[in-house]
Amino acid sequence: MKHRLLSAGKNSGIYFLLMAALFVTISSFKTLQGPVPAADDKTVIGRWDLTVNMDGKDVPSWLEVKLSGVKTLVGYFVADGGSARPIAQVHVKEGKISFSIPPQWEQSDKYMEFDAVLENDKLTGTITSSAGKRYSFSGERAPLLKRTAPAIWGEPIRLLNENSLDGWHVSGAANQWVVVNGVLTSAKSGSNIMTDKKFDDFKLHIEFRYPEGSNSGVFLRGRYEVQVEDNKGSEPTSTYFGGVYGFLTPNEMAIKAPGEWQSFDITLVGRRVSVVANGKAIITDQIIPGITGGALDSKEGEPGPIMLQGDHGPIEYRNIVLTPAK
Domain boundaries along the sequence of the chain = 39-141, 157-324
Architecture of domain 157-324: Sandwich (2.60)
**Residue 6: what pLDDT?**
34
Identity of the amino acid at 84: A
User: Please, what CATH class does the domain formed by 39-141 belong to?
Assistant: mainly beta
What is the mean pLDDT of each successive set of 10 residues along the chain, which is 326 residues long? Answer: 38 46 44 50 94 97 96 96 95 94 91 97 97 97 97 98 97 95 97 98 98 98 98 98 98 98 98 98 98 98 98 97 98
**Residue 107: what pLDDT?**
86
**Residue 298: what pLDDT?**
98
Q: Count CB atoms within 10 A of the CB of residue 133.
A: 10
3-state SS assignment for residue 234: coil
**Residue 40: what pLDDT?**
62
Two domains, one topology: 39-141 and 157-324 = no
**Residue 41: what pLDDT?**
76
Contact 308, 160 (CB under 8 A): no
**Residue 95: what pLDDT?**
84
Partners of 274 in beta bridges? 267
**Residue 46: what pLDDT?**
97
Q: For residue 202, what are the contacts with CB-CB under 8 A and spacing of at least 6? A: 267, 268, 322, 323, 324, 325
Exposure class string for 221-253: b at 16+ Cβ within 10 A, else e = bbbbbbbbbbbeeeebbbbbbbbbbbbbbbeeb
Distance of alpha carbon 314 from alpha carbon 299, whole angstroms? 29
